[in-house]
Structure 1
Amino acid sequence: LPVIKIVVSVQSNTPLINICDVFYNSTTNITLTFPPKFRPKLISNFSSDHSTPNTTETPEKDQTAIILKMRKLFEQEKDKSDQLRKEVARFRKSSSLSTEDSIRASELEVEIEKLRQDYNLLRNSIKRGVEEREMEAQYLALQEELKRRREECISLKAVLAQQSQSLRTLGQSRGNNNGDSSMSRIHDEGELMEAFQAQKLVNRQLEAELSAMMEANNETLVENNKLFEALRKEVGDLQSILQSRLENTENADVETLRLNEQYLRHELKKSTAAYVELQEQINELLVKINELTKKNHILSNRLRDHGLNDSILMNDEFQNMVTVKKKAQSNQGILKYRHEDETKIIQRLVTDLKPRVAVTLVTSLPAYVVFMCIRYTDLVNTDQHVRSLLTRFVQMIKRLFKAPNPAEIRVMWLVNTLTLHNLLKQFGGYPEYMQYNTEPQNQQQLKNFDLSEYRQVIHETIILMHGVLLRQIQESIKQFIVPAILDHDETSRGKSRGRTMSLDMSPEQNREPKTLVQQLDIFYKHLSSFGMENYYIEQICKQLMYYICAVAVNSLMLRGDLCMWKTGMKIRYNVGCLESWVRTMSMDPDVVKPLEPLIQISRILQARKTEEDVQTLLELSTCLT
């Protein structure tokens, strides 16, 4: 085949998009060069393929036909390049459209997320409406109590009127009987003194009831003000959210926005009306209290007008007061609750209870509350309710220990779970516990349920909680063990330590054993403040001593620079600080037994190490073999 050499001359500033563009744009500068030996053959082949057979045509006509064919080919290539250029433009346009669609989709996702947040806010506001209804029910109960108090005040006013009438009658009889004997006068004065004493008691009781009513009304007013402020803040937040949605959303549904605004206005009007009604009721109660106070002052003035003074019986009023004796009550230890409130009870006890609040309450109060609920389910014999209650409690405790929480919360719920487990044994028919119960306690055993399987589940949960808490405490004290046990040198405290200690030891290595003792003391206070029994506290401290000994021995085995006589003295002194802390806390001496390997290591480091001392070293290392 002939070799065709196409020389394309393109200017330097012409963009090279593709080979078609180059081929087309440079048609005016194309030179076809053929080797001399192939030119006649190529022309003859081309003419034989693309021209009509005519033997009479000249060579010039053959060349003209070839040029025309080449021009036709160039035009075809030009058309192809135009088509390719159009396809490239179409592809670029489609890619830009897809980019716009992705941007629009992301914007729609943001809008959907904002709408979901608005929906959650509205749903929370509806839930708060349920809490408002509960508060309204509490308010109605307070109204009933106030009505009862008002009736008692009316009865006391009647008694006061009778006493005043009797005093007035006594005064008149005293004026008419001036000529009577001295014995009758003394008798009348004694009756008058008794009447005055009774009147004093009535007045004090009225004042106490009035003050109690005023305090209750003030508390109700404060709660209502807080509720109104919370509602107003919530309405403001919702309005701001709605306003921001109106500003950010251009194509929002106008009907939906209008309905949301109407709903918010309706809620605001309802809350305002409820607040105004409560305010009016409080004002009425305040007016009644003022009226009762004025009447009390009027009655006191009348007593003074009859010649009686409050200071007459001031010294004897406490001696002459009637004592009130209460009958002995036998509490059953049962807490009645509704099954639909079970989730709320567990949430309030487990999730919402904080350690700073639990310290001020009765020790292990949540465990007692749960057990009283169990006793109620046993009383009504509802197997499904007790199963649901204990399952929810165990699940919430496990979830609490799986989440990253401080040691205080885990200690608090370990103590409460231990208490609940002991209560289930004590009142669940466990023989070893029943022999230590009193007769009334044995009479209060669970009658319908056998909770031995649930006791096993709670026992396994306690083991899990104990392990999680112990690992958390170990991680918190790990950084203090090596500096406090191996690195601290108490013998250098009396020497000049400024420059030498700063050059030889880092601040972490200079930590004293007191720092480790302080950390242990903090956890000991947590355990004791929540009411954990001393047996469990000593067990946890003993396991911590095992951990301290293991970390110190492993670090000593990896550091050959510490294997010297001086290190033995340091270890013995630092371990002695831990022993002193255990004695200060009045714990069992067995708590420090896990530190015995460290003590033996300190003795070995201080002993002579010759062939004659091998037997002595073996006797010193009984805990190391």
Structure 2
Amino acid sequence: MLRHMDHVDDEPKMHQLMKAVRTAVKKTLKKRAESVEYNALWLANMLRLLNNLRQYSGDTIYQSANTPRQNQQCLRIFDLSEYRQVLSDIAVWIYQGLIHLLERQLERLIIPAILEHEEISGLSGPSARPPQAGAGPQRLKQELSATHDHLHTFAVDQPLRLMIFKQLFYYICAYSLNQLLLRKDLCCWAKGLQIRYNISHLETWIKEHLAEYGQKSVEEILGVLKPITQAVQLLQARKSMQDVQSTVDMCANLTAMQVCKILNMYTPAEEYEVKVTREFIHEIQKKMQEKTGANPDKDPVSLNLIILVF
């Protein structure tokens, strides 16, 4: 249709068509704002349209991969660069809406699945609550698998799928870590072991479902979970003065403030652990500040990991 309008030089109709596309997409998604399927579908559609407009724009930068036949089919009169920017902005808006929707769906599952689920029996004593049915890592993995299937079904581009999962696992890590830093009842050796086991379920899911993106991408996404992994390793590690340097090295992705807060809230097991001393915490803080130099506290984990540009 655009080619025909370009051929007959019907600029008013071209403007009418492009404005209608923008209005219709926004209207549809506002009605279906809570639908992952609709957001994924229109994200894929909008990017496909944007890529086609670039490919057939006639701009030299986008013609290098075209065949001679495709270059003959490029627009001759219209310059749609302004509309391409509009469509790019809409694609970013759809992406952000999709991410926020997915994060809201995951939020209610993260604490039960990562921090509270107790699959290893006998660690928390006879008074521990039995695990809630459907509230553990399995439920969280089902939600991630459903998202993975939706993105495949609607043919969302592979780099964008990878970006979405990187954002989601960053959110899972940040939300878990923030909650851990607020709850003294989670800061003990037994809970550290339970949480580490729960995280291993996510690591297994990443290796099984995201292997198609390549080993490097899998390692990058696994790396996103390092802050929460290191936090629970800190709960399990020895905390004597001889262990200061190894503790600092182990917590490379945590800030001094986060490490010190966990240590201050740590509750030792009465049978075999000694209390964490102030000297140990001060030495940890000193070493971490020396390691980071002029910026003693790295930026805290942010939930806005990715700034998307199409």
TM-score range, shorter chain: 0.7 to 0.9
Specify the code of the residue in structure 2 equivalent to 1:567: K
2:231 is aligned with 1:604 = no
Distance in 1 of aligned mates of 2:126 and 2:98: 40
Runs ≥4 residues deviating over 6 A:
none
What is the aligned-residue identity percentage?
Answer: 35
Indicate which of 476, 488, 498 corresponds to 2:105. Answer: 476
Distance in 2 of aligned mates of 1:407 and 1:431: 36
Indicate which of 518, 541, 545 corresponds to 2:169. Answer: 545
User: What is the Cα deviation at residue 475 of structure 1?
Assistant: 0.7
Partner of 1:380: 8
User: What is the Cα deviation at residue 506 of structure 1?
Assistant: 6.3
Partner of 1:434: 63
User: What is the Cα deviation at residue 622 of structure 1?
Assistant: 1.1
2:46 is aligned with 1:417 = yes
Distance in 1 of aligned mates of 2:196 and 2:22: 45
User: What is the Cα deviation at residue 505 of structure 1?
Assistant: 4.3
| 1:490-529 superposed matches below 5 A | 490-492=119-121, 504-505=129-130, 507=132, 511-529=135-153
- Structure 2 CA distance for partners of 1:396 and 1:609, relative to 1, 3 Å: same
- Structure 2 CA distance for partners of 1:578 and 1:433, relative to 1, 3 Å: farther
Specify the code of the residue in structure 2 equivalent to 1:375: R
3-state SS of 1:470 partner: helix
- Structure 2 CA distance for partners of 1:431 and 1:573, relative to 1, 3 Å: farther
Specify the code of the residue in structure 2 equivalent to 1:504: R
Partner of 1:616: 246
Distance in 1 of aligned mates of 2:61 and 2:253: 36
Indicate which of 178, 185, 193 corresponds to 1:554. Answer: 178
Specify the code of the residue in structure 2 equivalent to 1:438: T
For residues 418-465 of structure 1, what are the alpha-carbon distances to aligned partners after superposition, in whole Å with 9 as ceiling and x for unaligned?
100110111113444311112211121111111111011111111111
- Structure 2 CA distance for partners of 1:414 and 1:563, relative to 1, 3 Å: same
Distance in 2 of aligned mates of 1:553 and 1:415: 32
Distance in 2 of aligned mates of 1:529 and 1:427: 26
Distance in 1 of aligned mates of 2:77 and 2:251: 58
Distance in 2 of aligned mates of 1:431 and 1:615: 56
Partner of 1:255: none
Preserved CA contact (<8 Å) 1:488 1:570: yes
For residues 369-414 of structure 1, what are the alpha-carbon distances to aligned partners after superposition, in whole Å with 9 as ceiling and x for unaligned?
xxxx222211221111111101111111122233344111111111
Distance in 2 of aligned mates of 1:609 and 1:375: 70
Partner of 2:94: 465
Equivalent residue pairs, number: 248
Partner of 1:456: 85
| 1:217-232 superposed matches below 5 A | none
Indicate which of 399, 408, 432 corresponds to 2:37. Answer: 408
RMSD: 2.2
Partner of 2:289: none
Specify the code of the residue in structure 1 equivalent to 2:208: T
Distance in 1 of aligned mates of 2:113 and 2:147: 18
Runs of 5+ unmatched residues, structure 1: 1-372
Larger RCO: 1 or 2 (CA < 8 Å, sep 6+): 2
User: What is the Cα deviation at residue 617 of structure 1?
Assistant: 1.3
- Structure 2 CA distance for partners of 1:580 and 1:430, relative to 1, 3 Å: farther
Preserved CA contact (<8 Å) 1:378 1:446: yes
Output the TM-score relative to the length of structure 1: 0.38
2:197 is aligned with 1:573 = yes
Preserved CA contact (<8 Å) 2:117 2:194: yes
Preserved CA contact (<8 Å) 1:401 1:468: no
Distance in 1 of aligned mates of 2:61 and 2:232: 45
Indicate which of 190, 205, 222 corresponds to 1:592. Answer: 222
Partner of 2:23: 395
For residues 474-527 of structure 1, what are the alpha-carbon distances to aligned partners after superposition, in whole Å with 9 as ceiling and x for unaligned?
1111111011111122322xx7x9x958x624627x722111010011011111
Larger Rg: 1
Distance in 2 of aligned mates of 1:521 and 1:440: 41
- Structure 2 CA distance for partners of 1:538 and 1:430, relative to 1, 3 Å: farther
Preserved CA contact (<8 Å) 1:474 1:544: yes
Preserved CA contact (<8 Å) 2:141 2:205: yes
Runs of 5+ unmatched residues, structure 2: 256-310
User: What is the Cα deviation at residue 612 of structure 1?
Assistant: 2.3
Output the TM-score relative to the length of structure 2: 0.75
Distance in 2 of aligned mates of 1:578 and 1:595: 9
User: What is the Cα deviation at residue 541 of structure 1?
Assistant: 0.6
| 1:266-415 superposed matches below 5 A | 373-403=1-31, 404-415=33-44
Preserved CA contact (<8 Å) 1:486 1:571: yes
For residues 15-71 of structure 1, what are the alpha-carbon distances to aligned partners after superposition, in whole Å with 9 as ceiling and x for unaligned?
xxxxxxxxxxxxxxxxxxxxxxxxxxxxxxxxxxxxxxxxxxxxxxxxxxxxxxxxx
For residues 57-102 of structure 1, what are the alpha-carbon distances to aligned partners after superposition, in whole Å with 9 as ceiling and x for unaligned?
xxxxxxxxxxxxxxxxxxxxxxxxxxxxxxxxxxxxxxxxxxxxxx
For residues 1-24 of structure 1, what are the alpha-carbon distances to aligned partners after superposition, in whole Å with 9 as ceiling and x for unaligned?
xxxxxxxxxxxxxxxxxxxxxxxx
